[in-house]
Structure 1
Amino acid sequence: MQLSQEQPGDLRATVNAVLTLDALAGVIFSAMKQIEHPTVVSMKRDDEFRDLLAERCHEFRALRDLAAAYKHGELTNPKKKQPRLLAGPERLNRVENQIGVLECDDEIEGFVLVVELIDESFLRASSVIGVSYQLLAPIVDEVDPLHTRWQA
């Protein structure tokens, strides 16, 4: 994940971080189910937990949809409570870093990855990853303060 933040134009690092954080949401759900956390006690699937997180955080919603697009190729499930923000993995694009996507500490004339949403807006991929991590990290700390479930 760190590499996706340090090199925001690296497709491999970004896709790896997106898939890892999406998987982490599933692992957190499982850990919360084991301790019968009230947030998830009535949920049957980790998708319901991801949907709850997506309702709370626009960036996580984009991350969830991008991860699903990489896993399934195309997103067309009309039964979803929340419409998808993107239709497929081709919506992650490398663009020249210029006004509109430029952030402090960026290389001038470099490239970054952006997630192009269905409504024609975009989110910088490194921001989607960073904000999603900030959403998930405190939940990990709450569920397992000593991080005993997360050690290799």
Structure 2
Amino acid sequence: MTPCEFLEEVAHPNMVQALEEPDSKLRIINAIMSLDALAGIIYTYGSSIKDPAISAFKSDTKFRDNLAEISHSFKVLRDTAFSIKHGELTHDKPRLVRSVGSIQERINGFGLFRLGDEIGGSVVVIEYDPGPGYMRASSAVADTYRMLRRIVEGGPAETDEHDDRPGEVDE
């Protein structure tokens, strides 16, 4: 499966569902895992066709580390995906998220509320570990999706973070 096919058939639908249901851990986790997988697929495919922008990195880990330097949202998403896969991250590598328990539900209020959200509802956040701080999970999903889509389309790994309105991402 090419990065373009995976983006269209898997990552995009999961991202849309996560933005439409920002209170659903199921939708958020599906989107996180899909986007993390897409980053790996981009690296593997780019390396196989000798894409200079991708094959410059000696490993998938180095490629992901580079993306994490560019995008705070990708760093949060990458660390969250690893913590989901492994339950807890115990190695010395600096991480923003170390445990699957960092995925929390919060009352959607000041600092989290977005136009179109249900008043009085909740939203899934990713708490930084070690803290303090957290990020709305749908923001990490939307930001990462945009950056990875740009790479799949042949563009640079740039970011335009924290715009998680479905209509703005789903173009």
TM-score (norm: length of structure 2):
0.78
2:146 pairs with 1:122: no
State the partner residue of 2:115.
104
Within 5 Å, give how 1:1-152 maps onto structure 2.
Answer: 1-78=15-92, 80=93, 83-117=94-128, 118-142=130-154
Letter in 1 for 2:65: D
Distance 1:43 1:56 in 2: 15
> What SS does structure 1 have at the residue aligned with 2:105?
strand
> What SS does structure 2 have at the residue aligned with 1:106?
coil
Q: CA deviation at 1:44?
A: 3.2
Letter in 1 for 2:150: P
Return the structure number with greater helix share.
2
Distance 1:113 1:20 in 2: 17
Distance 2:78 2:97 in 1: 10
Letter in 2 for 1:91: S
Identity percentage of aligned residues: 39
Root-mean-square deviation (Å): 1.2
Deviations 1:68-110 (A, max 9, x none): 00001111211x3xx1001101001011111121111111001
Q: CA deviation at 1:33?
A: 0.4
TM-score (norm: length of structure 1):
0.88
> What SS does structure 1 have at the residue aligned with 2:22?
coil
Q: Which runs of no fewer than 5 residues in structure 2 stay unpaired?
A: 1-14, 156-171
Distance 1:119 1:39 in 2: 34
Distance 1:42 1:100 in 2: 39
Distance 1:33 1:10 in 2: 35
